[in-house]
A and B are shown apart, each in its own frame.
Chain A
């Protein structure tokens, strides 16, 4: 259902580092969980519409009016690293 290579690939997509022991463990566990989930294949859903959202709501808009937002000071309060009212990040572009 899922092998070590799949787990390594998924961990990369999810931005997680896994050591050898963890790859072993998660492969076993995810494989067992996915095997259980296979139960859904017993159902023929070819003529069933998917439910993305349980309430019959669409396009919940509000008027485009400017209202008070968070103060910049508050927004940056929890940031590990800031400069000039911005979040500081490692260089992205060479």
Chain B
């Protein structure tokens, strides 16, 4: 029937217009998941009973003619660091393998009120630390475009499942690029909102000043649709911003005539692969054809974003992960001699090596004698990076860059050298440092048929402009219409 190939917007309209029952949609997806999961392995947990239950309720409401939520009947998935009451939330870690939250994250509650349907939880890098989903303690997720390649990370499961039509949308989290990078690797749309726009309550914290919940969708309109449900102040999240409610779908077809686009030259330098550079140059040409004014600019401090990010995120992570001590929840060793031994065994056996590496880096950066040289220094560099962007946005509406320096690489290729993987975050990280919104959209394919992503950067709380620009580019091309068939390219 090809139901799984539709977009979230199309499916919600079909259900609302009684063209199809919500239960039929879930059944169709579950069949497709069964066929494809042995290859992709995007899920860590499927919740078919919950999905059917929620879908039945939507069908009952429709039969009674009751008013529906904005996402009524649309099946989706949540990254496994987003708390789902009564359903295991593991962060793809042995530490939380059996952890069942007593409450749901605000984003989950909001999706519930909008009557979206929960298909399951998606695989991720352990505690969101990684760029390939290879650090998941459970299993590896494959890139639907080439099963030998990584889907990206840390929201690799969420990106892969949307790319493979296993879910109409999925939520991820983005601390240094973890929604945008896998979106680009998997040929889907990945949105990271402005810091503070979407509540972090119930989202397991990695780096509290950088984390944001983001969306993985098949197209830009779906991104706006889901953001409409997620955005908004939450009194349970003290870092949540109190901004006016915006309808991101309204006026999304505005177009980009006269839009001023800045192209930061530092994002097009050494390290960029030829295929990505080619696709980006063609994309900039397309943007000009669509009426935008593109100019080269400079963000001189942007090259310092990556080292600053690794200090800030690791320092905050070392603090956030101190709560995992085997006492109130999580992994506890069978035998231990005393409290100290319990703590050390729980953490050493419960955490993987990437998590330990970042905790130690952060602990070192914050330790007495190092705090000024590392953490305080990074916070000062953060100010400089933010000022660079503030200056740029005085003149330009959006900025454009590649999302990643290359297309997806082979599974196992970079896992030996952590620094090599860290360097791949080079274009995404500055946005988290500056708190800015960003979106990755499909912008072409390499000669090996691997997706290439274009990143658009917006000013603080200017998601409307960002989505309008992304939509215009998307509709002026047809990259988003191509879907993978596990190594083969089909429209």
Q: Give chain B nearest CB distance to A22 CB in angstroms.
A: 8
Interface residues of A in 64-94 (CB under 8 A from B): 70-71, 74-75, 77-81, 87, 89-92
Q: Which residues of A contact B344 (CB under 8 A)?
A: 15-17
Q: Which residues of A contact B325 (CB under 8 A)?
A: 15
Interface string of A34-51 (1 = CB under 8 A from B): 101111111101001111
When A57-B239, A79-B329 are in contact, do A13 and B304 touch as well, CB less than 8 Å? no
Is B348 in contact with A53, judged by CB distance below 8 angstroms?
A: no
Interface residues of A in 1-38 (CB under 8 A from B): 2, 6-7, 10-11, 13-18, 26, 29-30, 32-34, 36-38
Given contacts A15-B325, A30-B364, A51-B379, 17 further A-B contacts (CB under 8 A): A14-B318, A15-B347, A16-B360, A26-B360, A34-B364, A36-B307, A39-B303, A40-B304, A40-B377, A40-B381, A48-B383, A51-B380, A78-B99, A78-B329, A79-B327, A87-B328, A90-B342
* A90: contacting residue among B338, B380, B386, B433, CB under 8 A: B338
Q: Which residues of B contact A7 (CB under 8 A)?
A: 360
Q: Which residues of B contact A74 (CB under 8 A)?
A: 102
Q: Which residues of A contact B433 (CB under 8 A)?
A: 54
Q: For the complex, would chain B's binding face be called helix, strand, loop or mixed by DSSP majority? A: helix
Is B100 in contact with A53, judged by CB distance below 8 angstroms?
A: no
Expressed in whole angstroms, the Cα–Cα distance for A38 and B381 within the complex equals 13
* B239: contacting residue among A34, A55, A79, CB under 8 A: A55
Q: Report the interface size for chain A: residues with CB under 8 A from the other chain.
A: 51
Q: Which 7 A-B pairs have the closest CB atoms?
A: A50-B379, A54-B435, A74-B102, A78-B329, A45-B380, A80-B332, A17-B348
Q: Does B418 make an interface contact (CB < 8 A)?
A: yes
Expressed in whole angstroms, the Cα–Cα distance for A74 and B344 within the complex equals 26
Q: Which residues of A contact B332 (CB under 8 A)?
A: 80-81
When A29-B357, A75-B102, A80-B332 are in contact, do A10 and B338 touch as well, CB less than 8 Å? no
Q: Which residues of A contact B340 (CB under 8 A)?
A: 15
